[in-house]
Amino acid sequence: MAEAVVSFVLESVRDFTIQEAKFLSGVSQQAEVVQTELQLMQGFLKDADARQGQDETVRIWVAKIRDAAYDLEDVIQTYGLKMVSKKKRGVKNVLRRFACIFKEGVDVHRIGKEIENITTRISELRSNLQKYNIKELTTDRDGNDGESSLQLQERLRRTRSHVVECDVVGLESNVEELVMHLVKDENRLQVVSVWGMGGLGKTTLARQLYHHKEVRQHFHSFAWVYVSQRFQERNVWEGIIFEVISATKEQKQEMKDMTDDEIAKKLFRVLQKMKCLVILDDIWRIETWNFLNAAFPNVETESTILLTTRNQKVATLPNRNAFLHKLQPLNDNESWNLLEKKAISERADVDLGMYTKKRELGTNMLQHCKGLPLAIIVLAGVLARKNTVREWEIVHENVYEYIRKGIGHKEEYEGTIKDCRIHDLVRDMCLLKAKEKTFLQINNSLQENASSMAAEATQFGKIRRLAIYLDENADRLVSSRDETNLHVRSLLYFLPQGWMPKSIEGLLSPLKDFKVLRLLKVEGLNEVEVELPSEIGNMVHLRFLSVINCNIKTLPPSPGNLVCLQSLDFRVLNDDMVIPNVIMKMKQLRHLYLPSRYSAKGKLELSTLGYLQTLDYLSSEYCDLKNVGRLTNLIKLTISLSTSLQNMEEIIKSTGCTLNYIRSLIVFMDNNSCEEQAMQIVSSCRGIYKLMLKGSIAELPKELHNYPNLTKLQLWRCGLKENQMGILEKLPNLTILKLIGEAFKKDTKILVFSKGGFPSLQFLHVSDGLRYLTNLRELTIRGMLRELHRWIEEDGEDFYKIQHVPSLVIGEPSPYF
The yes-or-no verdict on residue 465 having pLDDT over 80 is yes
- Report which of residues 644 and 790 the model is more confident about: 790
Eight-state DSSP code of residue 170: S
Tell me, rounded to whole angstroms, the distance of Cα 564 from its chain centroid: 10
Count of all residues that appear for the chain in the document = 817
d(CA 585, CA 146): 44
Confidence at residue 235, expressed as pLDDT on a 0 to 100 scale: 86
Give the confidence band of 638 by pLDDT, cuts at 50, 70, 90.
very high
d(CA 379, CA 371): 12
Residue 399 CA: distances (Å) to CA of 24, 109, 373, 393, 607 = 20, 32, 15, 9, 15
Question: Exposed, middle or buried: residue 500 (CB in 10 Å: 0-12, 13-18, 19+)?
Answer: exposed
Residue 490 bridge partners (DSSP) = 465, 519
Give the confidence band of 350 by pLDDT, cuts at 50, 70, 90.
low
Eight-state DSSP code of residue 489: -
The HSE-up count of residue 527 (CA atoms within 13 Å, CB side) is 11
Residue 503 CA: distances (Å) to CA of 499, 530, 574, 746 = 12, 10, 20, 50
Share of the chain above pLDDT 70, in %: 78
Confidence at residue 372, expressed as pLDDT on a 0 to 100 scale: 86
d(CA 460, CA 438): 7
List Cβ neighbours of 133 (8 Å cut-off, separation of 6 or more). Answer: none
List Cβ neighbours of 392 (8 Å cut-off, separation of 6 or more). Answer: 357, 358, 361, 362, 383, 386
List the chain domain ranges. Answer: 2-152, 158-326, 332-405, 423-498, 775-817
d(CA 636, CA 592): 10
Confidence at residue 352, expressed as pLDDT on a 0 to 100 scale: 82
Rounded average pLDDT over 548-577: 88
Residue 168 bridge partners (DSSP) = none
Rounded average pLDDT over 142-156: 46
List Cβ neighbours of 227 (8 Å cut-off, separation of 6 or more). Answer: 236, 280, 281, 282, 283, 284, 288, 292
User: 756 with 785: CB under 8 angstroms?
Assistant: no
d(CA 150, CA 318): 26
Confidence at residue 620, expressed as pLDDT on a 0 to 100 scale: 87
User: 577 with 555: CB under 8 angstroms?
Assistant: yes
C-alpha angle with apex 176: 175 to 179, nearest 5 degrees?
80
Confidence at residue 97, expressed as pLDDT on a 0 to 100 scale: 41
237-248 pLDDT, tens per residue?
A: 998 999 999 888
Torsion angles phi and psi, residue 688, rounded to 5? -70, 145
The yes-or-no verdict on residue 415 having pLDDT over 70 is no
Give the confidence band of 612 by pLDDT, cuts at 50, 70, 90.
very high
- C-alpha radius of gyration, the chain, whole number: 33
Confidence at residue 503, expressed as pLDDT on a 0 to 100 scale: 72
- Report which of residues 777 and 278 the model is more confident about: 278
d(CA 364, CA 375): 14
- Listing DSSP states for 632-676 in one string gives TT--EEEEEE-S--TTHHHHHHHHHHHHTT--EEEEEESSGGGHH
User: 178 with 222: CB under 8 angstroms?
Assistant: no
80-84, 205-209, 283-287: the lowest-pLDDT one: 80-84
Torsion angles phi and psi, residue 481, rounded to 5? -70, 125
263-267, 465-469, 625-629: the lowest-pLDDT one: 625-629
363-412 pLDDT, tens per residue?
A: 988 888 888 888 888 888 788 878 788 888 878 877 766 665 543 344 44
The yes-or-no verdict on residue 689 having pLDDT over 80 is yes
Torsion angles phi and psi, residue 492, rounded to 5? -120, 130
Alpha-carbon torsion (264, 266, 268, 270), positive or negative? negative
Q: Which long-range contacts (CB under 8 A, 24 or more apart) does 551-557 make?
A: 551/525, 551/526, 551/527, 552/577, 553/529, 553/577, 553/578, 554/578, 555/579, 555/580, 555/582, 556/532, 556/580, 557/582
Question: Exposed, middle or buried: residue 401 (CB in 10 Å: 0-12, 13-18, 19+)?
Answer: middle
486-519 pLDDT, tens per residue?
A: 889 999 988 888 888 777 776 777 787 888 899 9
- Report which of residues 121 and 3 the model is more confident about: 121
d(CA 524, CA 241): 71
- Looking at domain 158-326, which CATH architecture does it have? 3-Layer(aba) Sandwich (3.40)
Confidence at residue 632, expressed as pLDDT on a 0 to 100 scale: 82
d(CA 418, CA 439): 23
732-787 pLDDT, tens per residue?
A: 899 888 888 788 887 776 777 777 888 888 877 776 556 656 666 777 777 666 66
Confidence at residue 141, expressed as pLDDT on a 0 to 100 scale: 38
Percent helix, strand, coil in the chain (nearest 5)? 45, 15, 40
Rounded average pLDDT over 665-685: 86
Give the confidence band of 215 by pLDDT, cuts at 50, 70, 90.
very high
Amino acid symbol at 191: V
Residue 614 CA: distances (Å) to CA of 415, 464, 628 = 13, 28, 11
